[in-house]
Amino acid sequence: MAENQQVDSPASDAGGYDAGALGLDIGTSRIVLANGPQGTQSQSQLNAFISVPYAKLTENILQQNRMVYHRNGKELCVYGNDSERFASFFNAVPRRPMQRGVLNAHEAMGQQIIQAIIEQMLPRARKNEMICFSVPGKGEGADANLVYHEAVLRNFLQGFGYQAKAINEGLAVVFAELQQENFTGIGISLGGGMCNVCVAFLSVPMLSFSIPMGGDYIDSSVSEVTAEPVTRVRLQKEESLDLARQPKDKVASALQIYYEEVMATLINKLREEFENSNSIPRLDRPLPIVLSGGTAKPRGFLQKFEGMLKASGFPAPVSEVRLASDPLTATARGCFIAALSEIK
Ligand SMILES: Nc1ncnc2c1ncn2[C@@H]1O[C@H](COP(=O)(O)OP(=O)(O)OP(=O)(O)O)[C@@H](O)[C@H]1O
Ligand SMILES: [Mg+2]
């Protein structure tokens, strides 16, 4: 959706699979597709792959196990959700088509793989079917390359027969979660590769930005200082991290430290952008903040974020800080709502 374009009618009467609209969140860690009534039907695939040398026997095994793969000359690439299972057989870390929110320039196979994952997820496009896909906001590490990232993904989607439109990830969170508030407030997505923020008034984005830190940064930093493998760090983070408790071991303690760094960087940047922006209208009421994305999922995250925001002397009144109803699908649901508003 173009900046400053109004969504005149929210998707409360969204009509299921026949709505002619789809929402696609193309994230660094996961790709999520939303369709169905109000975008509530969703499916996701890991945005990752693992490659092994081609051998007929290996290919047979992949076929027997119904794993999705792509043959590229002398390599077999297992991608999407199967990549995690396959990686654990080989004790390897999956490769990623994207890094810090955008296409990974250092991964030669990246574009082919992301195209294959998306193709596998999308239904066959009907005439004029609309798809909105998420893109990050500008920020350190995401600037000129955003133009390329957006254009390549749009081309893929158009190539599959869709009308495709990019939407800022933070704005998608506003669409998904702030319907009751007339799409006015701050949407924040804390993902794998980055964090995205959008301040919107009546669905119009007034300010959006990204920071190049997210779950991947936390995992790799903790792995570096504790000498634990990055996969083990990630699993501990996802399965048992509680930010409200005293950490019980070295990994938990390092996770808390880097979580606090990410939150502090995000809150500082938000304060700075708010103070320096001259596009934010005078506020007649306090703004709600919605937190989404996988990195917002640990226990205690919301309370910690609220506490740090209060202590930061944030320059605008905030009515509440809450978690998205489903942090892993908010961006895709918001993209779906944007797509519906485009076809009305
Ligand atoms: N329960 C959990 N606790 C902590 N972290 C989690 C949990 N579940 C997922 N994550 C983390 O969330 C991140 C993925 O989040 P998400 O799917 O929102 O990212 P993404 O949209 O793919 O990436 P981005 O928006 O940065 O491009 C990963 O770092 C993952 O480890
Ligand atoms: Mg995301």
Provide the CATH number for the domain around residue 306: 3.30.420.40
Q: Pick the residue with more confidence: 141 or 78?
A: 78
For residue 31, tell me if it sits in a domain. no
Say how many Å lie between the CA of residue 195 and the centre of ligand 1.
Answer: 10
- Position 67, amino acid: M
- CA dist 39 to 11, 114, 242, 300, Å? 9, 22, 30, 28
Cβ of 295 closer than 6 Å to ligand 1, yes or no, is yes
- Structure-token pair, residue 53: 């040398």
Residues 266-289: tens digit of each pLDDT: 999 999 998 888 877 777 789 999
Same domain as 83, residue 199: no
C-beta neighbour count of 246 within 10 angstroms: 8
Domain that residue 298 falls in: 187-323
Share of the chain above pLDDT 90, in %: 78
- Pick the last residue of a domain from 95, 128, 152: 95
Q: Given the DSSP bridges, would you call strands 163-168 and 130-135 parallel, antiparallel or unpaired?
A: parallel
For residue 138, tell me if it sits in a domain. no
User: Which residue is closest in CA terms to ligand 1's atom 4?
Assistant: 238
Cβ of 215 closer than 6 Å to ligand 1, yes or no, is yes
User: Which residue is closest in CA terms to ligand 1's atom 8?
Assistant: 294
Cβ of 297 closer than 6 Å to ligand 1, yes or no, is yes
**Looking at the 3D structure of the chain, how many domains does it have?**
2
- Band (pLDDT 50/70/90 cuts) for residue 25 is very high
User: Which residue is closest in CA terms to ligand 1's atom 12?
Assistant: 294
Average pLDDT estimate for 111-138: 95
Residues near 64 by Cβ (< 8 Å), separated by ≥ 6?
A: none
Same domain as 313, residue 200: yes
**Residues lying with their CB under 5 A of ligand 2, a single-atom ion:** 27, 189, 191
Same domain as 204, residue 89: no
Say how many Å lie between the CA of residue 8 and the centre of ligand 1.
Answer: 31
Say how many Å lie between the CA of residue 295 and the centre of ligand 1.
Answer: 5
Residues 238-249: tens digit of each pLDDT: 999 999 999 999
In SS3 terms, the chain reads as: CCCCCCCCCCHHHCCHHHHCEEEEEECCCEEEEEECHHHCEEEEEECCEEEEECCHHHHHHHHHCCCCEEEECCEEEEECCHHHHHHHHHCCCCECCEECCEECCCCCCHHHHHHHHHHHHCCCCCCCCEEEEEECCCECCECHHHHHHHHHHHHHHHHCCCEEEEEEHHHHHHHHHCCCCCCCEEEEEECCCCEEEEEEECCEEEEEEEECCCHHHHHHHHHHHHCCCHHHHHHHHHHHCECCCCCCCHHHHHHHHHHHHHHHHHHHHHHHHHHHCCCCCCCCCCEEEEEECHHHCCECHHHHHHHHHHHCCCCCCEEEEEECCCCCCHHHHHHHHHHHHHHC
From 29, 242, 335, the mutation candidate for ligand 1 (largest count of ligand atoms within 8 A of CB) is: 29
Dihedral over Cα of 241, 247, 252, 258: its sign: positive
Same domain as 191, residue 91: no
From 117, 236, 238, the mutation candidate for ligand 1 (largest count of ligand atoms within 8 A of CB) is: 238
For residue 191, tell me if it sits in a domain. yes
Ligand 1 atom closest to Cα of residue 237: 4
**Predicted pLDDT of residue 68:** 86
For residue 160, tell me if it sits in a domain. no
**Predicted pLDDT of residue 279:** 77
**Beta partners for 209?**
197
Say how many Å lie between the CA of residue 169 and the centre of ligand 2.
Answer: 7
Say how many Å lie between the CA of residue 57 and the centre of ligand 1.
Answer: 34
- The answer to whether 142 and 102 are in contact (CB under 8 A) is yes
For residue 259, tell me if it sits in a domain. yes
Cβ of 210 closer than 6 Å to ligand 1, yes or no, is no
Residues 43-95: tens digit of each pLDDT: 999 999 999 899 999 999 889 988 889 898 899 999 999 999 888 877 788 99
Say how many Å lie between the CA of residue 192 and the centre of ligand 2.
Answer: 7
For residue 214, tell me if it sits in a domain. yes
For residue 36, tell me if it sits in a domain. no
Same domain as 310, residue 205: yes
Residues 187-236: tens digit of each pLDDT: 999 999 999 999 999 999 999 999 999 999 999 999 999 999 999 999 99
Same domain as 191, residue 87: no
Say how many Å lie between the CA of residue 1 and the centre of ligand 2.
Answer: 17
For residue 236, tell me if it sits in a domain. yes
